[in-house]
Chains A and B, each alone.
Chain A
Amino acid sequence: MPALTAWAIRLALLYLLVGFTFGGLLLFHKGVPLRPALWSLLPAHIEFLLIGWTAQLILAMAFWILPRFRGGSRGPAWLAWLAFAALNLGVWLVALAGSFGLSASLTLAGRLAQALAALLFGVYAWRRVKPSGA
């Protein structure tokens, strides 16, 4: 697998582990109360698992397996690198703002970064959605 895919999947696995840990703590606390403050982990739990794990893994796999161009090129990979950087920045901004009760403008900035990531990856991947060998 290409370097970008490997790095993005490693990050996705870490998000999975941390997201499951937060979720496990929340569920445990729901059954056997530990500390009420644990509920503040909920926004990070959701963000890490939906975007950090699931969305990132899907994009990483797409970068790897979508049909390549003639000569085996994957095209302008810098666009995809930028998309992954924006996606991860967005995950952290939204998770931190939600879990620590920070300014709503940080959440907005995070969502903007995630939307930018989707746009960049869409622009990057558009021409790779084609018949193999074309």
Chain B
Amino acid sequence: MPTLTRWFVKTSLLFFFLALLLGMLLAARSAWPLPEFLAAFAPVYFHMFLVGWVTQLIFGVVYWMFPKYTLERPRRSPALGWAVYLLINLGLLLRLVAEPYHTLNPAAGMGWLLALSAVLQWLAGLFFVINTWGRVKEK
């Protein structure tokens, strides 16, 4: 398994755990008197699970197991692969902090962090598709 895949898979496992932990906290609000601000973390929960865990795991496994691009460049561009890893995780981590903060303090002027998070994650998706497209080959 390539180094980049190991980073993708291990990071996705961390997000899986953290997402379910957050899901537990969100569910516990109905049973215990937890702080109201936790409700602002609901979108973060969905995206930690679906982007941080599911999509990131798929990205890592696809990078590893899809057919070779060429014999000389079997995984097309490792640099682009690492860019995908950094962009998706930076974008998601930024969202984890900025989205609840912006929801609770909309006048604080931190909305641009959400916009930056959006751009980083979108670039990750774009670079992943570019790096993967040529490896989808019929045999």
Query: Which residues of chain A have a CB within 8 Å of any CB of chain B?
Result: 1-3, 6, 9-10, 13-14, 16-17, 20-21, 23-28, 30-33, 49-50, 53-54, 57
Contacts and interface: CB of A to CB of B under 8 A. Distances in A.
A56 to B, nearest CB: 11
Interface residues of B, number: 31
Contact of B125 (A1, A17, A50): A17
Contacts, number: 79
B115 A32 contact: yes
B111 interface: yes
A17 B102 CA distance: 26
Given A1-B67, A30-B114, A13 B136 contact: yes
Contacts of A57: 58
A27 B124 CA distance: 15
Interface of B (DSSP majority class) = helix
* A interface majority secondary structure: helix
B118 interface: yes
Interface stretch (B1-9, B18-26, B127-135): B127-135
Given A1-B67, A20-B122, A13 B133 contact: yes
Most buried by A among B95, B111, B117, B122: B122
